[in-house]
Amino acid sequence: MSNEWPLWEVFIRSQHGLAHKHVGSLHAPDAEMAIRNARDVYTRRNEGISIWVARSSDIHASSPGDRAALFEPSNDKVYRHPTFFPMPEEVKHL
């Protein structure tokens, strides 16, 4: 339906989280209402301390078809992984 409110993606920073995490999406006429709706739809049980919303149409995603081209070349470059560094005995909890 063309007269439906636009879709928004909702990101919430939880009590102990350092970064905002995508939690879902909702419809709202504008950003202010989107934040208000996000509060009601996604934070009813004291989940968050901060809310971000972004128009879904403003999010650009990589294409699933490009997955091989984007990510696989890193697999055969073993030097990108830190497995060749000898670990000093004294270093704990790494």
Binding to another protein by residue 22, rule CB under 8 A? Answer: no
Binding to another protein by residue 51, rule CB under 8 A? Answer: no
Q: Which of 1, 40, 88, 89 binds another protein (CB under 8 A)?
A: 40
What distance lies between CA 28 and its chain's CA centroid? 20
SS3 53: strand
The nearer residue to another protein, 21 or 32, going by C-beta atoms, is 32
Binding to another protein by residue 36, rule CB under 8 A? Answer: yes
C-alpha distances in Å from residue 6, one per residue of 11, 31, 60: 16, 10, 16
Q: What is the distance between the alpha carbons of residues 15 and 77, in angstroms, rounded to a whole number?
A: 38
Encoded amino acid at 28, one letter:
A
Binding to another protein by residue 54, rule CB under 8 A? Answer: no
Q: Which of 20, 35, 41, 52 binds another protein (CB under 8 A)?
A: 41
SS3 36: helix
Binding to another protein by residue 26, rule CB under 8 A? Answer: yes
What residues make contact with another protein under the rule CB under 8 A?
5, 26-29, 32-33, 36-37, 40-41, 44
